[in-house]
Amino acid sequence: MTPVRTAVVATGQSDHGRRFDASMGEIAREAIDRCLGSRGLTFDDIDAVVAGNMEMFEGIYLVDQYLVGALGALDKPLYKLNTGGTVGASAALACYHLVASGRHKRVLGVGFQKQTEGSAQSAITTVGDPVWERAVMAGAIGNFATMASTYIAESGVTPEQAAKVAVKARRNACLNPHAHLQLPNITVEEVLESEMLAYPIHRLDFCPSSDGACAIVMAAESIAADHAEHPAWVHAVATSHDQQYMGDSPKRLAVMRSLQAATKKAYKLAGVTDPRHDFDVAELYEPASYAELAWYENVGFCPMGDGGKLIDAGVTLIDGDLPVNPSGGVLSTNPVGATAMIRVAEAANQVMGEAGEHQIPGVRRALATGYGGNAWSDVMILSRELPATAEVSA
């Protein structure tokens, strides 16, 4: 079977932040209405729905049942996923597969999280293996802090270089009306002086807890041009997992084996040979400042160990050679079930030329990544050009 060439043709996001005014269904619907509304689409146009969140943040299981109405999924195939932090990207990948398989023409993907409703740190604890990991867990922050210590030992990256990432994210966020943390006057000094959460991670080195939702529509080649002037064509999708326990990867963060493996597969499919120059923009899933620097290395934007130099040179700033997270990234907005789909949606917006004030001029090709759980990676490559081959999945 030859797959169908597939594109993102519409995206929509809720306002992200502390949304005590909106229920889970309402915030999901806010993103969906904006997504469908932007193209004059209705639920009648949607063949299937893929939804994703992490249930323990709200403590509501079977959200797909409670949100059938909000998701417009009555009498339609509705698939609910949870792959941890990656879930938004996994849902986007699932949308891709449902269209590329030829089964459906238009599929709606929705990622959502009301992260302020429960205890984020307690919810993260339930991610840990109950026998081996929960007894001593210190939440996402303790996990990222130990990863950062390994990365510092490997690369010699400095707190100042990490702080530059934190500053870049919150300043970029000021150009994104959906972003949660918009800090126009933030400085490197302010990041370094912010409260130490877990050494070496300061409060401003870390992502916030946000409420929010994101929606996308993926469409088949036969109709994609009906919905978007410049569809964001899927040129590669790839997923890689690592081993099961937190301590299984010898140099976590410094060497993110799953991200290296997923990007390697995706680059091969999309014909990317020089990622530093072959991409015009990237939306990387960076829950901490140090993570973004490590991802630069692991996705091949620079040699291993040179992540700090890339931010020092300003390459990844919004006006740099290869802007990373012009949306403000995860450091500015983290409704975890939506977060990885926001990466896909923002990358698609850049390719479609519809990113608004944070649009990078002349984007042809964009990279989006999702990160979750222990060390799982989703990768999607989107392009303005129709792919030469429809074989884009690994």
Partner 1 sequence: MSTQAQAFNREQAIRIEQQITLQYRFAAGHHASRFFTALRDEGKILATRDAEGNVMVPPRPVCGLSGLPMTEWVEVGPDGVLAGCTIVYVPFIDPMTGVQRPVPYGFGLVRFTGADTSIYHLLDATEPEQIGVGKRVEAVFKPREERTGSLADIRHFRMVD
Binding stretches for partner 1 (CB under 8 A) = 20-21, 59, 119, 121-122, 125, 130-139, 141-142, 145-150, 152-153, 195-201, 242-248, 250-252
- Smallest distance from the beta carbon of 146 to partner 1, in angstroms? 4
**Nearest 10 degrees: CA dihedral of 383, 386, 388, 391?**
70
Cβ proximity to partner 1: between 224 and 375 the closer is 375
CB closer to partner 1, 219 vs 291: 291
| The amino acid at 251 | K
Q: How near is the Cβ of 20 to partner 1 at its closest, in Å?
A: 5
* Residue 366, strand partner residues: 281, 382
Q: Minimum Å distance from CB 41 to partner 1?
A: 23
Task: Tell me how far the alpha carbon of residue 260 is from its chain's centroid.
Answer: 16
**Considering the complex, what minimum distance in angstroms separates the CB of residue 170 from partner 1?**
20
Indicate the residue among 3 and 142 with the shorter CB distance to partner 1: 142
Q: How far is the CB of 138 from partner 1 (least distance, A)?
A: 5
Torsion of CA 21, 27, 31, 37, to 10 degrees: -70
Least separation in angstroms between residue 230's CB and partner 1 is 36
Nearer to partner 1, 252 or 343 (CB): 252
Cis peptide before 326 (omega within 30 of 0): no
The minimum distance between CB 193 and partner 1, in angstroms, equals: 14
Tokens 């010699």, located at residue: 156
Contact residues for 10 (Cβ-Cβ < 8 A; gap 6+): 35, 36, 38, 39, 41, 216, 217, 227, 228
Lookup result for tokens 């079930």: 337
Question: Among residues 159 and 326, whose Cβ is nearest to partner 1?
Answer: 159
Reported for 134-138, long-range contacts at CB under 8 A and 24+ positions apart, including other chains, are 138/198
Query: Whose Cβ is closer to partner 1: residue 1's or residue 135's?
Result: 135
Nearer to partner 1, 181 or 344 (CB): 181
* Tokens (6 digits) for 6: 């597939």
Question: Closest separation between CB of residue 246 and partner 1, Å?
Answer: 6
| Minimum CB distance to partner 1 smaller for 130 or for 362 | 130
Nearer to partner 1 by C-beta: 199 or 385?
Answer: 199
Q: In 3D, which of 297, 280, 257 has the Cα closest to residue 382? A: 280
Least distance between partner 1 and beta carbon 195 (Å): 7
**312: Cα separation from own chain's centroid:** 24
Q: What angle do CA 215, 220, 226 make, to 5 degrees?
A: 80
Judge residue 388's burial from the number of C-beta atoms within 10 Å of its C-beta, 0-12 exposed, 13-18 middle, 19 or more buried. exposed
Smallest separation, CB 393 to partner 1 (Å):
23
C-beta of 42 vs 199, nearer to partner 1: 199
Cα separation, 154 vs 19, whole angstroms: 40
